[in-house]
Amino acid sequence: MKTVFKYRVLVIDDDKEMRTSLIHLLESSGWEIETASSAVGIESLIETTLPDVILTDVQMPKRTGLELLIDLSNEVMPPIVLISAHGDIPMAVDAIQKGAYGFLEKPFEPRRLLTILKHAAEQHQLKETTSRLKARLADLSGLNRVFIGQSDLVNSVREKVLDYSQIDTSVLIIGETGTGKEVIAKAMHDLSLRSTKPFIAVNCTAIPIDDFDEMLFGRKGIIKGLVKKAQGGTLFLDEIIAAPIEIQMKLLRLLETKEYLSLGSDVTEKADIKIIAASSEDPDTAIKEDRLRKDLFFRFYGFMVLLPSLREHKDDIIFLFENFILEFSRLYEIESNIQSAEDLAVLLSYDWPGNVRELRSVAERSVLATRRGGGGISNAIHGSEIMEDMPDNLRGALAAFEHALIAKAIKSNNGKMDKVAEALGIGRRTLNEKIVKLDLDKEAILTSAESRRL
């Protein structure tokens, strides 16, 4: 079976034995490798091989690794990791300041090298993905800008919205809280021949039961109801199941005849409107509980839009999140940051009970945190817990920070210690020593995480 490589590295070193050793190490870890014995003219090889990361020696004839780093320092080039047998702290600091992703002194620990290269390659792929997403977002128009996504589920919804916007029939939108029911209703109105007329939205849960009749249908000679205000346009009834049964009966008549009576009037009025209703509840359950008239539901049957929860189209999460990050970066005039691999893992593993609305809110908090010098998607979702109850003295604060960071990594990786060590960028032995030193109870941490989920 042919191996599928996830990352590609370009190794540059004038020492043949070192190149051979690195080839063996990287190939055994699943890397695709290109090698060169000199950095002279290396640009053409970079263009043809498109590496995710460059690993280069510092001391080489004709062109050193530091010279290569300076020459390639632009956004489109992959990250560069430097290795040297003659390294010292000033050289390492200088290399990092000039833009190196990492610096290792020979002989290096293989696991540490692999971890640094992996993180660098992930960062490069994220940057390229972000660039592609930005280009794709720039091309979006019309309904694509309103209901964003690339999955089959989202495409199916868009097709229905386009179809139903072109016919003058009533539509029912069903979806969990935060899936964008009003956004879809407004898009349907904007795409219809009624787009120049009013779009009147009302949340049925916000209307007192005693005021429903008057608010919807008005009172003779005194109050203009919402149906009248929507004349020629669209009336959007969000959470229609919250409407009293007697009002549902009047809505049924409105749907069937396009006629209604204002309170205190015996003169029938014509309603030239399109009605779009929405519900975050299952209509069948509401019918069984006598909270929704079956005949009213059947008036919508055949013209329903089922909005998927974010959990059902997780492939769109990164795309949606990047769109929101760009939106809020422009709004707050803050340069958007490329999300780390850990951030993306959090985005994809989180359950998103608030759906797209919650995702958008997390993106906004993430952008604002960037302005304050903070960040992290996990903090934007749950709020930062690391700095709470932090000791005042430096030694205690560092221990508390390490304790919180390792505990968080244990929870995030479900107690799989090899993955915990990799996520923290340390060796397994070092991790074990810190767990003993900090008196961390792995089982207690996992039990606590499980109880919060329940």
Pairwise pLDDT comparison (64 vs 424), residue with the higher score: 64
CATH code of domain 151-306: 3.40.50.300
Candidate from 6-20, 211-225, 416-430 with smallest mean pLDDT? 416-430
What is the pLDDT, as a whole number, of residue 116? 92
Pick the CATH number of 394-453 from 1.10.20, 1.10.1660, 1.10.10, 3.40.50: 1.10.10
What is the pLDDT, as a whole number, of residue 232? 95
> Quick one: CA dihedral 48, 54, 59, 65, positive or negative?
positive
Q: What is the mean pLDDT of residues 310-335?
A: 85
* pLDDT above 70 coverage of the chain, percent: 86
Q: What is the mean pLDDT of residues 30-49?
A: 90
Candidate from 49-53, 86-90, 189-193, 233-237 with smallest mean pLDDT? 86-90
What is the pLDDT, as a whole number, of residue 80? 93
Give the model confidence (pLDDT) of 270-304 as tens digits.
999 999 999 999 999 999 999 999 999 999 988 99
Candidate from 81-90, 128-137, 163-172, 238-247 with smallest mean pLDDT? 128-137
Q: What is the mean pLDDT of residues 60-70?
A: 90
What is the pLDDT, as a whole number, of residue 342? 75
Whether the per-residue pLDDT at 63 is higher than 80: the answer is: yes
Q: What is the mean pLDDT of residues 158-187?
A: 90
Give the model confidence (pLDDT) of 365-409 as tens digits.
888 877 666 666 777 776 544 444 445 555 665 666 677 778 888
Q: Where in the chain is the domain with CATH 3.40.50.2300?
A: 7-137
What is the pLDDT, as a whole number, of residue 255? 92
Q: Where in the chain is the domain with CATH 1.10.10?
A: 394-453
The long-range contacts involving 101-108, CB below 8 angstroms and separated by at least 24 positions, are 101/53, 106/18, 108/83
Q: What is the mean pLDDT of residues 254-280?
A: 92
The mean pLDDT value of the chain amounts to 83
Q: Where in the chain is the domain with CATH 1.10.8.60?
A: 310-382
Whether the per-residue pLDDT at 140 is higher than 50: the answer is: no
Topology of the domain comprising 310-382:
Helicase, Ruva Protein; domain 3 (1.10.8)
Whether the per-residue pLDDT at 432 is higher than 70: the answer is: yes
Closest to 129 (Cα-Cα) out of 318, 317, 315 = 318
Give the model confidence (pLDDT) of 328-347 as tens digits.
888 888 876 666 777 778 88
Domain spanning 7-137: which CATH class is it, in words?
A: alpha beta
344-370 b/e (C-beta count within 10 Å ≥ 16 → b): bbbbeebebebbbbbbbebbbbbbebb
Q: For residues 33 and 61, what is the distance between their CA atoms, to the nearest angstrom? A: 22
